[in-house]
Amino acid sequence: MENNYKNLEVISNPIVNQSLCIMRNKNTDTEGVRLAARKLTRILLYEATKNLPQTDVEIETPLTVFTTKTIDSDIKIIISPILRAGLIFTDEAVDILPQAAIRHIGMYRDEKTLKPVWYYNKVPMPVEDPVKYYVYITDPMLATGNSLIEAIRLYTEKGIPQKNICCVCMISAPQGIQAVFEQFPDIKLIVAAVDSHLNEKGYIVPGMGDAGDRIFNT
């Protein structure tokens, strides 16, 4: 797909592509899917966190004192996995960003309407200085975009700027990308693949099937 969206980044490299091949293959078992997914989440999270503000710090190495850059400790970082498949990002996310708060969002897709149904929401929290918040919403599959839109709204309603919100997905459908950017043109979206279309049941084609089932062996 030609990328006409200024805030969409499609990450492609040999490791990403190999991981996707393993995950998509219907003969890959749960262990294989998880391993490939974990590898992919790490790469996507590295790309996603390029927007974090940095500050100069002075540190002392065994050899000398010098000034260098690190993540600004004055900001607040939130990782928001959309349950349940979004959980696959969490282990890598807490390794990479130990200072982040994890705020789970529980939604499932009504199989008839394809609309998200809430069952858990750990987002209500005081936001004193919203511009200091950097939010990463994780969900492996961006299909219709309905769940992601609901999740993004939770944060924008708190005054957190769209440009500080990054959605990190593995496989996406053009329809979902369009729906998300129609509502929130200034969020950042990182994906590893943009697939062909959604089928009549709302599954991404070619996709990888039900990501939650394949990751959690259900």
204 contributes a contact to ligand URA by CB under 6 A: yes
The verdict on whether 210 is a catalytic residue reads yes
Which CB atom, from 143 or from 194, has the smaller least distance to ligand URA?
143
Specify the DSSP class assigned to residue 100: P
Residue 74 φ/ψ, nearest 5 degrees: -85, -10
| C-beta of residue 166 within 8 angstroms of C-beta of residue 136 | yes
216 contributes a contact to ligand URA by CB under 6 A: no
CB of 207 vs ligand URA, minimal distance in Å: 4
Centre a 10 Å sphere on the Cβ of residue 26 and count the other Cβ atoms it contains.
7
211 contributes a contact to ligand URA by CB under 6 A: yes
Which CB atom, from 16 or from 143, has the smaller least distance to ligand URA?
143
Residue of 110, 129, 186, 210 marked catalytic? 210
- The candidate with the shortest Cα–Cα distance to 107, out of 123, 89, 91, 131, is 123
Q: Which two tokens stand for residue 112?
A: 């008839």
Centre a 10 Å sphere on the Cβ of residue 12 and count the other Cβ atoms it contains.
12
For ligand URA (CB under 6 A), the number of binding residues is: 9
Write out the binding residues for ligand URA, residues 73-102 only, by CB under 6 A.
Answer: 85
The verdict on whether 42 is a catalytic residue reads no
Write out the binding residues for ligand URA, residues 135-154 only, by CB under 6 A.
Answer: 141, 143
The verdict on whether 109 is a catalytic residue reads yes
Residue 194 CB partners (closer than 8 Å, separation 6+)? 1, 3, 10, 172, 173, 174, 177
DSSP states of 119-162: EEE------SSGGGEEEEEE-SEESSSHHHHHHHHHHHTTT--G
The verdict on whether 213 is a catalytic residue reads yes
203 contributes a contact to ligand URA by CB under 6 A: yes
212 contributes a contact to ligand URA by CB under 6 A: yes
Residue of 38, 42, 84, 109 marked catalytic? 109
CB of 134 vs ligand URA, minimal distance in Å: 26
Site residues, ligand URA (CB under 6 A): 85, 141, 143, 203-204, 207, 210-212
Report the catalytic residues: 109, 113, 210, 213
